[in-house]
Amino acid sequence: MQAGAGVRFARFAPCRRRRRTRRPPGTEVAHLLLHEILTPERIRTPLQGTTKDEILRELVELLGSDGEVGDAEAVLRAVQAREAVLSTGVGSGVGMPHGRSDQVQRLCMAAGVSAAPVDFDALDGQPCRLFFLLVGPESAAGDHVKALSRLARLARRDDVRAALVDAGSADAFLALVRDAETA
């Protein structure tokens, strides 16, 4: 058999680029800002819990303090189920528990600072003091991911983490989040 005999090479069609279409004016996607889904009523400094389960329960109760949550126990189970997959203790003293539940109508968040470090099974092995709980319905999966990304960027900044831990009130905490997002 001669070299190359019987071998056929497929011809590949060139890739087609998707045409980008511009959105009509007024239909731009709004930027998700954390300080818009967090309220002073859903922030506690200091949190009273001393264990991971107590912190999760307290954050879910905060989330339900303004009527955003239908069945708080169902939301807690959803957050605990997500936590069982992989700890949301992201390191540097920050816990970002989150979950999806049909017991909330839209993406919402609660936050707090514990009085003493809490073992949260963090990826870096260090205890956590700063917590952000994010819960949304399945239909808000895109916003859920965007909010987690924004939280991660916020939590990476040493100065912001330190300021949030030292915030003396819910209003001061929320103002720090707002300032960090808009800076």
Q: How far apart are CA 131 and CA 134, in angstroms?
A: 10
Residue found under tokens 């819990």: 49
- Asked whether the bond before 46 is cis by omega within 30 degrees of 0, the reply is yes
Backbone angles phi, psi at 122, to 5 degrees: -65, 155
Task: Print burial letters for 21-35: b (CB count within 10 Å at least 16), e (below 16).
Answer: eeeeeeeeeeebebb
Contacts of 128 (CB under 8 A, 6+ apart): 89, 93, 94, 95, 114, 117, 118, 120, 122
Residues designated as active site: 98
Separation of first and last alpha carbons in the chain: 70
Q: How far apart are CA 93 and CA 129, in angstroms?
A: 6
Q: How far apart are CA 93 and CA 126, in angstroms?
A: 6
